[in-house]
A and B are shown apart, each in its own frame.
Chain A
Amino acid sequence: MSFTGFGWTMPYLLLLLPLALLPWLNQNLDKKVAWVRLVPVDPLSKAISFVLRSLASLTIAALIVALAGPFVPEQLVDRYGQGAEVAILVDRSRSMDDPFAVVHQPAMRSPHGDDSRRRVSKDYLTEFVNRRPDDRFGYVFFSANSQELLPLTYSREAILATIEAGAMGRGLSDTNIGNALIEAAEMFEREVYRGSRIVLLISDGGAVISEEEQAYITELYRQNNLTLYWIFLRPMMSMTLEPSEDDNLLWVDTVERRLHEFFKGLGVPYRAFEAGSMEDFANAIDEIDSQQYQTLVVQDTLPRQPRADLFLWLAMLALLLLSASQLYTLWGVRKAHE
């Protein structure tokens, strides 16, 4: 129920509004008059009586309306911010249960260990979200399938709760990055273009993308003007995405490096973060922040605002006038009696 854009917490109280007519039913029994016609017609006192009754009606009506709890419903307001729209793409495959950045040799799976890649990824994502206050975030998780979970939202509470849920329990099944990259891009296709768009992939990356998928992904990412970030959770401490001179033979031509090569050749802005210390990561985010300054329209939700005060003020002013006139009458009558 609403009129003039108000919402009501207790709309049924508005049914009491006819009570505002009571002052008009009231008969004057203050004085006995022998014959009504004897009273001279006095336009001034008629007008005064009309005004007083109106004031009384107004007071009663305003009080009832205030009691019904009027509020302006929550509203979306646009403001200009400097940020981006970010689709967070989270790997929920089983391999994410493995420990992160092992120094010596691959350790056993420890799904409940604090060092599992999934738990580490939660820390990185939380850091990312907290460092970018004007961004709008969406969440896609993937394993064998990919699943959009939270469409782009400004609610930091919602995105952080989703990221936290991603760290709970065990992993699902295999890794299918190709499909996931497509799903994340498609999240943007339904949206109005507002500013820079980022796909933030967080994964240990062990998956091959077929050539067909590669071609489709390239097209999709170029068309939609997407930027790709990859937070790479390396399985071994010494592993890097870029080949180096004293490279370990084990890392040559791994799936992770091939994926990195493919991303570099996408033709869209791309950057890989090889997760090491949280401090390095924080610095890296600040750095892209300064590169990514692009003004975009940010929508904020204004929470519902109660408006009962407005009507209470109205009631008070009307009643103040009314009581003033009553006090004046009292003074006058008293004087007449003296």
Chain B
Amino acid sequence: MAERSVNYLQRIRLTAMAMCAAVVLIMAALWFPHVDRDIKVVDTLFVLDITDSMLVKDARMGRETLTRLDWSQEFVRQAMLEMPCGSKVSLAAFTDSRSLILINPIEVCANYHDLIQVLHKIEPPMAWAKASEISKALFTAINQAKDMDPEPSIVFITDGHEAPPLHETLYPKFGGTPGEVSGVLIGVGGTDLQPIPKSNEDGEIIGYWDVNEVLHVDVYAAFRGDLAEAMANVQRTEHLSSQKHDHMERLGIMVGFDYLDMPTANQLMRTLRAHASARTQRVDYDPYPVFAGLALLLLLLLYLPYGLLLGLRKRKT
């Protein structure tokens, strides 16, 4: 009996000490100063293709099939949500032969609303010319990224459909160093050839591009009379569009970008983070969860129903 009561006393003392410790931990959670913590952020310039071929509805996202442009916008939105606060985002549109920077890099969390507003303005009516020279646009995006501070990684979203088509050897060459600016090419669109909607100034679809309205060979060949006969046998499919995997891959190698075919936002972030250009951003971090978590653990240990547990074990044996 005496032994038992010593135990009883010890137990009460232990409980009291544990409770006091928990109080101290909670006080620490309340008043421990914030600490600086470095997180890895990736600053990103998103370039969206706004040429008419992006209006083809063959991009799968989950169970839905979206137009390539809608897919791009939703993809950028999701990617922005995946980014840790402190990352900076810039947006650009591409048509004709250049990328037009619309908004310079700004912090993604505080400016999420405004970034979304600008993102949804990136639509065909913005186009100042109806051509789709992807390689040149990609090169201008890379050049302009170099002028930005901090220098962003580029996420270039396109279906890879060049219009007018490129010559086999006379295509634009990249003047810079591959990989100097890091980035990812995002391919969007299915593999089957689809008719391309034609949009007017207000962005309404007014029909489809006809087989005779587009160039089926490159500009150089088109203006050489002596090749006319040879050209007559060329497949006339440029008024139809699919995602051009081979071309995208070649472009990617040329500028040192990875090529991903309709990835998830999560996959994109992993690829971007794997690049060296991730910047460390110092954030103010409140370490209260550590202390509050320990206090909670201590209390749970105190209040675990040992009686019940012991009872169960006894019943088993």
Cβ-based interface call for B283 (8 A): no
* Separation of A162 and B107 alpha carbons in the complex (Å): 13
CB < 8 Å: which of A67, A143, A155, A164 contacts B104?
A: A164
* Separation of A322 and B12 alpha carbons in the complex (Å): 13
Cβ-based interface call for B229 (8 A): no
Contact A60–B110 (Cβ < 8 Å): no
CB < 8 Å: which of A63, A148, A316 contacts B296?
A: A63
Cβ-based interface call for A41 (8 A): no
- Interface residues in A115-162 (C-beta closer than 8 Å to B): 143-145, 147-151, 153, 155, 157-158, 161-162
Contact B102–A149 (Cβ < 8 Å): yes
- Interface residues in B1-38 (C-beta closer than 8 Å to A): 4-5, 8-9, 11-13, 15-16, 19-20, 22-23, 26-27, 29-30
CB < 8 Å: which of B11, B26, B111, B305 contacts A26?
A: B305
Residues of B within 8 Å of A308, CB to CB, are 288, 292
* Separation of A149 and B20 alpha carbons in the complex (Å): 59
Cβ-based interface call for A330 (8 A): yes
Cβ-based interface call for A238 (8 A): no
CB < 8 Å: which of B4, B11, B30, B106 contacts A157?
A: B106
Contact B121–A147 (Cβ < 8 Å): yes
- Interface residues in B182-203 (C-beta closer than 8 Å to A): 201
CB contacts between A and B, total, < 8 Å:
160
Residues of A within 8 Å of B114, CB to CB, are 150, 153, 155, 158
As a 0/1 sequence over residues 85 to 106 of chain B, the CB contacts with chain A under 8 angstroms (1 = contact) are 0000010000000111111111
CB < 8 Å: which of A22, A158, A165 contacts B305?
A: A22
Given A19-B300, A60-B303, A330-B12, residue A303 in contact with residue B110 (CB < 8 A)? yes
- Interface residues in B266-317 (C-beta closer than 8 Å to A): 286, 288-289, 292-293, 295-296, 299-300, 303-308
Cβ-based interface call for B220 (8 A): no
Contact A67–B296 (Cβ < 8 Å): yes
Contact A151–B300 (Cβ < 8 Å): no
Contact A169–B100 (Cβ < 8 Å): yes
Residues of B within 8 Å of A148, CB to CB, are 121
Contact A27–B305 (Cβ < 8 Å): yes
CB < 8 Å: which of B16, B147, B201 contacts A326?
A: B16
Given A158-B103, A161-B104, residue A22 in contact with residue B144 (CB < 8 A)? no
Contact A161–B201 (Cβ < 8 Å): no
Given A151-B117, A309-B30, residue A60 in contact with residue B23 (CB < 8 A)? no
Tell me how far the C-beta of B19 lies from the nearest C-beta in chain A, rounded to whole angstroms: 4
Cβ-based interface call for B253 (8 A): no
Tell me how far the C-beta of B145 lies from the nearest C-beta in chain A, rounded to whole angstroms: 10
Tell me how far the C-beta of A46 lies from the nearest C-beta in chain B, rounded to whole angstroms: 19
Given A27-B307, A312-B288, residue A323 in contact with residue B110 (CB < 8 A)? no
Main secondary structure of the interface of A (DSSP, over half): helix
Residues of A within 8 Å of B228, CB to CB, are none
Contact A165–B12 (Cβ < 8 Å): no
Residues of B within 8 Å of A67, CB to CB, are 289, 292-293, 296
Tell me how far the C-beta of A50 lies from the nearest C-beta in chain B, rounded to whole angstroms: 15
CB < 8 Å: which of A28, A173, A320 contacts B128?
A: A173
CB < 8 Å: which of B29, B128, B147, B292 contacts A144?
A: B128
Smallest CB gap from A138: residue in B: B117
Tell me how far the C-beta of B6 lies from the nearest C-beta in chain A, rounded to whole angstroms: 8
Tell me how far the C-beta of B13 lies from the nearest C-beta in chain A, rounded to whole angstroms: 6
Contact B201–A145 (Cβ < 8 Å): yes
Smallest CB gap from A332: residue in B: B12
Contact A316–B30 (Cβ < 8 Å): yes
Contact B305–A32 (Cβ < 8 Å): no
Tell me how far the C-beta of A47 lies from the nearest C-beta in chain B, rounded to whole angstroms: 20
Further pairs besides A153-B114, A165-B103: 13, Cβ < 8 Å: A26-B307, A27-B307, A29-B306, A30-B8, A30-B11, A60-B300, A157-B107, A169-B99, A169-B144, A319-B26, A319-B299, A323-B23, A329-B12
- Give 6 A-B contacts (CB < 8 Å), ordered by A residue: A60-B296, A157-B107, A165-B101, A168-B101, A327-B20, A333-B9
Q: 5 closest pairs, A vs B, by CB?
A: A27-B307, A323-B19, A158-B114, A25-B305, A161-B104
